[in-house]
A and B are shown apart, each in its own frame.
Chain A
Amino acid sequence: MNKVLEQLQNTIVEFDLDNVADVMNKTILAIPDPLQILNQALLPAMNIVGQRFNDQEYFLPELLAAATAMNQAMEILKPHLQKVPSSGPKCKIVIGSVWGDMHDIGKNIVKILLQAANVEVIDLGKNVPPEKFVQTIQEHNPQFLGLSALLTTTMLEMKSVIQALVQANLRSKVKILIGGAPVTAEYAQEIHADYYCAQALDAVKIVQDALEK
C-alpha cells in the first residue's frame, strides 16, 4: 500500500484527532485522485474500525473518535470529490428511531458504519412518525429502510411503519432492517421485516451483499 495512504488510514483507525487534518492535507498534495484517497484509505479505515468494534477491540469511545477523525478528513476531501462525477454512493438507506422513541445512539452507529461503506444515509432522527418514513421513501426512493427502538413499547411502532408502507404500496420497494435492544429475529419475522440486525455491522453486510447480487 502507498505509504501516504497507509499513514492516512492509520490516522483514522488510531483516531489521531490532533494530526488528521495535517495528514489529510499532505495526502491531497501527494495523491491527485480524490477517489483513490476515499476508496483506498478512508473507507477501508472505517471498515477496520467497524470490524474492531464488532470484535470488541473497540468500544463506543473508540468508534466515535474514529468517526470524528473520518468526518474531519471528509470535510477536507469533499470539495475535491465534488469535482469527480462518479464518486457518489451506490445505494441509499432511510433510517430513524421510531415514533415515541428518543434513543438514537444505536441508530447513529449504524449510520456511521454505513456511511463508511459509501452508502448514502438519509437520517430522519428520532421519534419519527410512520408518515414521515412513507413520505421520505416516496421522495428519495431508497433501496433500504432501517428502524431502531430501545423499548418493547416503542418497538411495536415498527409494525405501524410497515403497515403504513403496505398501505402506500411501497412495501416491495424497500428492504427493511430492524434493530435495537428489545428487537429479536422472531419479532422481525412476525412483522415481516426483511432483516433482524443484532449489531450495527450486520447492516453493512446486508447492504454490501445486496449490492453484489
Chain B
Amino acid sequence: MFDEILHRTPQPDFETFASVLTGKQQAKKVHLVELGIDPELMRIIYEQHWQKAWKQDTQSLVLQKIEFYYRMGYDTLRFANAFVNLPQFLADRAQDTAPLSHGVRTWVKEDDGLIHNWDEFKAIPWDQIQVDRACFQLYAQNLPQGMKMMISYPFFEIVMQNWLGYQGLCLGLIQNPDLVAAVFEAWGNKVAEFYQTWIADPQVGGIFHSDDLGYKTATIISPKHLRKYVLPWFKKYADLAHQHGKVFFLHSCGNLGLVLPDLVQEIRIDALHSFQDQVMPVVEFKKRYPQVGALGGVDMDKLSRLAPEKLKEYLQQIVSECQRIGQFALGSGNSVTNYVPLENYLTMVQAAHDWSNL
C-alpha cells in the first residue's frame, strides 16, 4: 500500500503550483501543500519506508525535512527560521497525549507575556534580534531544482502570545493603547525586515504569512482593532511580495468572518490556508471566493480521527469540488501533527495522486 506515492520520481514545479493557485493556469494535477509536518511522522516514513537513518542534529533535521517534502511530492516548503537572539518566550509544558508523543508538549503561556510596561518594552534589545542568515543558506543550498521556499513568520500572534500575553494585549488595548501600538510597531518592523531580506532571492517563491486571527466563532480582537494595528502590516507584507512578482499566502486559523473581505479585497491575499469544518469548510470558502486560492482544507479533527475508508470519502468530496472550481492545493487544515495517524496522512497524499491520474 502507498508504494506509488512513497517511491515516486518527484518533479517539483513551484512556478506551476503558484500559477494554479493564482488562477493563471488550470491544474493538471492535485497539488499538495503543508504549513508544517511534525518530525515524528516524517521520521517513521524516513526510517520504515525509505530505510534511512533519522538524525537529530539541527542541520540533519533541515536536510531531512527538505528531502521529505521533495520525495512526498510537494512543490514548496515553509522557511520560518527567521531570527537569531530572540528572547526566551514564556512557555507551559504538559505531557503530550499524542500517539507519536513528543514526550512533553510545549504550550504558549496564555496568562502572561514579557512586556508589561514601558520600562520592559525599552529593555528589550530589539536591535540584537536579527535575521538568521545561516539557516536560510542551509535551506537555499539544499533545495532541489524546481522547489521554492515560502518565507513565513507570525506578527500578530507573537505580539499577542509572547510579547504582551493574551491578557496583556487585551487589557492593554483598552488601558494602555500607546504601549500596545509601540509593540506592534516594533514587531511589525522586525517581521518586515525578515521578509525584505529574502523576498528577492530566486529560491523564494513568496510569503506564506502565518498569523492566527480568530477562534471558533469570532476574531480574537475586534475588526476595529485588527484594522488599526494588524491589517496595515499584512498589507505591507502582501505589497512587498506582489512588488517582487511573488505570491502572498496567508495562514490564519479560526473564524475570520468579519475581516475576510478585508483580506481578499484590500490585502489581496493570493490564497488562504487553515480551514476547520466547524468554522468554514474549504468547499464553502471556494464557492464564496472562487478567485482566491485555497490551501489545505482537510479538517484536523477528521484527519486525526476518521477511519481511512471514511476519510477517503471525505477527501473525495473536497478534492472533486475544489478542483472543479480551481485554485486549490490539498493538505491538512492546519498541519500534519503527531496525532494524525500515518495511514491517514498517506491516505490524503494518495487521494491527490489518484485524482491526478484519473
Contacts and interface: CB of A to CB of B under 8 A. Distances in A.
B300 A100 contact: no
B107 A103 contact: yes
Interface in A30-60: 56, 58-60
Contact of B220 (A59, A99, A181): A59
B94 A152 contact: no
Interface of A: 15, 17, 56, 58-62, 64-65, 68, 99-106, 126-127, 151-157, 181-182, 184, 187, 198-199
B137 interface: no
Given A101-B94, A105-B110, A182-B301, A56 B169 contact: no
B217 A99 contact: no
Contacts of B258: 56
B304 A152 contact: yes
Top 8 A-B pairs ranked by shortest CB distance?
Answer: A102-B107, A153-B339, A100-B97, A61-B170, A102-B92, A59-B222, A152-B304, A64-B170
A61 B217 contact: no
27 contacts: A59-B218, A59-B219, A60-B166, A60-B170, A61-B169, A61-B173, A61-B221, A62-B174, A64-B171, A99-B94, A99-B97, A100-B95, A100-B96, A104-B111, A106-B215, A126-B94, A127-B94, A152-B339, A153-B304, A153-B337, A153-B338, A182-B300, A184-B278, A184-B301, A187-B301, A198-B216, A198-B217
Contacts of B304: 152-153
Interface string B272-307: 000010100000000000000000000011001100
Contacts of A100: 94-97, 105
B352 to A, nearest CB: 22
Nearest to B300: A152
A151 B334 CA distance: 11
A54 to B, nearest CB: 8
A184 B304 CA distance: 14
Contacts, number: 91
A156 B220 contact: no
Nearest to A157: B97
Contacts of A126: 92, 94
Interface string B199-212: 00000000000000
Interface residues of B, number: 39
Nearest to A127: B94
B29 to A, nearest CB: 29
B331 to A, nearest CB: 17
Interface in B216-234: 216-222, 225
B196 interface: no
B305 to A, nearest CB: 6
A15 B218 contact: no
Contact of B171 (A68, A103, A156): A68
B167 interface: yes
A65 B174 CA distance: 7
Nearest to A15: B174
Contacts of B129: none
Contacts of A17: 174-175
A64 B278 CA distance: 25
A123 to B, nearest CB: 13
B61 interface: no
A156 B304 CA distance: 11
B98 interface: yes
A105 B160 CA distance: 13
A199 B217 contact: yes
A74 B101 CA distance: 44
Contacts of B166: 60, 105
Contacts of B217: 198-199
Best-surrounded residue of B96, B174, B300 (most CB of chain A within 10 A) = B174
Contact of A61 (B174, B257, B301): B174
